[in-house]
Amino acid sequence: MARFDRVIPPGGEGKIVLQVNTKGLQGKLNKTARVTSNDPKKPNMIIGMKGKVWVPIHLRPKYARLTGVLGENIKTVVDVRGEKEDPLVIKIASVSIPDKVAVELKELEKGRRYHLEIRNKVEKVMSYRGQVTLTTNYPEKPQLVIKITGYIKPPVEVRPRALRFLSLTEERLQQFKKEGKVIELSLMVVFHKPNGFKIDKIELEKALFKIHIKETAAGRMQKGRVVQLTVEPILEKLKKGHNTDRLKIFTNQKGYEILEVPIFITIL
């Protein structure tokens, strides 16, 4: 928020008052404001603000994020530190998603510093949200709420999960055939655990499309991280109405041996 004198007389002075809402902030603060004026020599000017927002209890990080691949040991630690001279005493009051996370509180420095360890318990691919509530002996902050987000990824996945080409009129289709124009969309096969992972083969149920692996993606395929596939409809095989096919990607990953991607294109 800013307040300022809009008109300053020649040789006079004006005031610019900047106000920062510090709710939810902690630690170092760096803000800037841009000032524009009719000064021909310096029409733009940047004003910087630096400071430190004191809080009775410092959290680092403020939010707990659990992100990893299914089967991994996924955990995070929130550092809780008292900033007052009085000893800090905290306890776990509640965990909103006890079926998804395990929470443990460890005192590192008596009355001063704690570690809140949050560990994933989920054994399937999913996303979730929740929170841990702590109680403290500080009257300024009797309760701490730490939000939790979890994202358990599969070892391998396809993005996007379906391919939809723009609809074509029959006239447009014939024009593309005549001109030899190529229509294509891309998808990515992402290996979140790359070591030893590979694609064994690729198949189409109806063979209405061609699949290309670009050279740059082929190089990545050897590393087992990301494979880019380009899908091109075979124009001569398309018929009026809805044309659908199903791409099957065979991998060596247990539980994800076949990844299927539906493909759609409509001829009007």
First to last CA, the chain: 55
pLDDT of residue 44: 86
209: which 2 tokens? 């499309």
Q: How far is CA 127 from the centre of its chain?
A: 12
Q: Where are the domains of the chain?
A: 14-53, 57-153, 156-267
pLDDT 10s digits, 11-43:
778 788 777 776 766 767 677 888 888 878 788
Task: Provide the percentage of residues in the chain whose pLDDT is more than 90.
Answer: 62
- Scored b (16 or more CB within 10 A) or e, 185-208 reads bebebbbebeeebebeeeebeeeb
221: which 2 tokens? 């395929």
The better pLDDT of the pair 229, 27 is held by 229
CB 93 within 8 A of CB 76: no
Average pLDDT over residues 220-229: 65
pLDDT of residue 1: 67
Distance CA 262, CA 268 (A): 20
pLDDT of residue 215: 47
- 218: Cβ–Cβ under 8 A, 6 or more apart, which residues? 227
The overall average pLDDT reported for the chain is 88
CB 58 within 8 A of CB 144: no
Average pLDDT over residues 194-216: 82
Distance CA 65, CA 146 (A): 10
Instruction: Supply the pTM of this predicted model.
Output: 0.70
At 219, is the pLDDT very low, low, confident or very high (cuts 50, 70, 90)? very low
Distance CA 91, CA 95 (A): 12
Domains 57-153 and 156-267 share a fold: yes
The better pLDDT of the pair 10, 234 is held by 234
- 256: Cβ–Cβ under 8 A, 6 or more apart, which residues? 154, 155, 156
pLDDT 10s digits, 95-150:
999 999 999 999 999 999 999 999 999 999 999 999 999 999 999 999 999 999 99
CATH architecture observed for domain 57-153:
Sandwich (2.60)
- 192: Cβ–Cβ under 8 A, 6 or more apart, which residues? 69, 153, 154, 155, 156, 157
Cα-based angle 212, 216, 217 (whole degrees, multiple of 5): 55
pLDDT of residue 194: 65
Longest dimension (CA), the chain: 82
Fold of the domain spanning 156-267: Immunoglobulin-like (2.60.40)
pLDDT 10s digits, 171-184:
999 999 999 999 99
Q: How far is CA 251 from the centre of its chain?
A: 25
pLDDT 10s digits, 56-102:
899 999 999 999 999 899 999 999 999 889 999 999 999 999 999 99
